[in-house]
Amino acid sequence: MELYNNIKALHLIFVITWFAGLFYIVRLFVYQIEAQSKPTPEKEILGAQYKIMTYRLWYIITWPSAVLATLFALVLLHLNPEWLYMPWMQVKLGFVALLLAYHLKCHQIYKQLQNDDTRYSSNFMRLWNEGATIILFAVVFLVILKNAIDWIYGVVGIIGFSILIMLGFKFYKNIRKKNNS
């Protein structure tokens, strides 16, 4: 039991650092994209600095955390294989697959920005950042409630919260636009 609890603690620690990395990397993407519209030499200075920051965050914190969180999760599932037959765990694993897809898409965006290939706006990145938040809410509600139905209330709540964030974002964007005029 002590081994199990230690592995569970390590899994949770690396899940937290993984999400921290995902939240911050997308925020750095916003700054990196916005730096490209700055005048010279500010554009070059900021661009170089953000590339260093994103590189370090991505390869020193986020990727290792994703790998270690996944490895410890696999060990936990090996120790408790009956979990694989529980509906809440099956739904959770679906969200974990979605999280992995989100992570890989962030990796693709990271590589594009490292090559000065900007395909998304800073506004898109601000909204993209909410994807990890929705996944986090869904997984936490599933793990705590352990009920394949009750977690829906939490997800509906986070979707409602996301709508409020988007409305707030539009409001903020309009204020910024007025202040820049």
Q: Which segments are annotated as binding site for heme?
A: 11, 92
Residue 179 pLDDT more than 80? Answer: yes
Range of the domain at 69: 2-180
pLDDT tens, position by position, 72-110: 999 999 999 999 999 889 989 999 999 999 999 999 999
Q: Which segments are annotated as binding site?
A: 11, 92
What is the C-alpha separation between 79 and 118, in angstroms, rounded? 44
Which of 135, 146, 61, 131 is closest to 96 using CA atoms? 135
Looking at residue 140, its pLDDT comes to 87
Q: Hey, what amino acid is at 40?
A: T
How many domains, the chain? 1
- CA dist 32 to 113, 122, 172, Å? 8, 9, 20
What average pLDDT does the structure give for the chain? 91
